[in-house]
Copies of this chain bind each other. A is one copy, B any other.
Amino acid sequence: MPLKTEAPEKAMSLKESMSGWQQRVNTALENRLPKGKIQPATLHQAMRSSVLLGGKRIRPVLVYAIGQCLNADENILDNPACAVEIIHAYSLIHDDLPAMDDDDLRRGQPTCHIRYGEAMAILAGDALQPLAFQILTRSKKYLPAENVLQMIEILAAASGSHGMAGGQAIDLESVGKKLNIAELENMHIHKTGALIRASAQLGALCQPTVTTEQFEALDHYGKCVGLAFQVQDDILDIEAPTETLGKPQGADAALNKPTYPAILGLQESKELALQLHEDAIAHLAIFGDKAQVLRELSAYIIGREY
């Protein structure tokens, strides 16, 4: 696989970039979330603990990486980076609810409803969603109002019934059913793909001089990377040991959830991930070296060990 032939120095540079962006978005989120002492305090604490619990921040990293490729100002990238992560965090809170996946642990910590009760967890998710849109409106400080509106439109579409929430609904109705590969792909394009793709689009719109050609190349990258992320996630569910994964190995398979390895087989799933990676980076040539982090990020996504 190409990523194994990369020089260690480049891998280091991706790690450094990612670590810097992770810290940056954590600080930005910390500043944008209501303080835990402000009333209604329990709600604010539930919102904060869910968002600030950590994670790889793949969506914000993508916003910053796309922005860097276009020489966008990092200060402009903070709002969309926070907005996509907040939408992701709200979806995890609601996913974990007893009526949904009924998970007690998330990243080794008690889930929101275990800690704050089910009603408060529903409300924490409900309150995070408008916060994401509110944060995006603040980008009018840096960008033309038309661009900000376009960003809100993209995030709303990616979150709604034709995006993430729609993907969840498809997932809900797919458990125990035999999906074909097209149906599985359709589910993931919505469930995880839409928000990852939106992250790429939002990052690109932070550079007001972005051309249509550039925007489309980066959107294509986001679309491919979003799907590759899910294929790799399914592979890891089978291959990674429980302690690395943070959830029991084979958990999805045990729940009879449709996965890529279940439909395509493990080897073909790995080939699909690699193909999506190559497809993702295929149109980045117009950016030259500026897209190097994007190439490495895509390789990291399909080669990541956890």
Which residue numbers of A lie inside 8 Å of B, CB to CB? Answer: 34, 39-40, 42-44, 47, 90-91, 94, 97, 99-100, 117-120, 122-123, 125-127, 129-131, 133-134, 137, 140, 144-146, 148-149, 152-153, 155-157, 159-163, 165-166, 168-170, 172-173
Contacts and interface: CB of A to CB of B under 8 A. Distances in A.
Given A99-B122, A134-B153, A149-B145, A127 B165 contact: yes
23 contacts: A39-B170, A40-B161, A40-B166, A40-B173, A42-B173, A43-B165, A43-B166, A44-B161, A94-B122, A99-B118, A100-B122, A120-B172, A123-B168, A126-B129, A126-B165, A126-B168, A127-B160, A130-B155, A130-B165, A131-B156, A134-B153, A137-B153, A140-B146
When A and B form their complex, which 9 residue pairs have the shortest distance between CB atoms, in order from nearest?
Answer: A145-B145, A99-B118, A43-B169, A127-B165, A134-B156, A130-B156, A127-B161, A130-B160, A40-B169
A123 B42 contact: no
A43 B133 contact: no
A130 B44 CA distance: 21
A34 B161 contact: yes
A172 B123 CA distance: 10
Contact of A137 (B42, B152, B162): B152
Nearest to A153: B137
A172 B134 CA distance: 24
A97 to B, nearest CB: 7
A209 to B, nearest CB: 18
A297 B168 CA distance: 41
B127 A152 contact: no
Given A40-B169, A169-B42, A169-B123, A162 B100 contact: no
Contacts of A118: 99
A42 B174 CA distance: 12
B34 A126 contact: no
Given A42-B173, A146-B145, A165 B134 contact: no
B149 A130 contact: no
A214 B127 CA distance: 30
Contacts of A168: 123, 126
Contact of A156 (B94, B133, B148): B133
Contacts of A131: 156, 160-161
B148 A119 contact: no
Contacts of A165: 43, 123, 126-127, 130
A11 to B, nearest CB: 37
Contacts of A146: 140, 145
A119 B160 CA distance: 15
Given A43-B161, A161-B47, A126 B127 contact: no
A282 B16 CA distance: 61
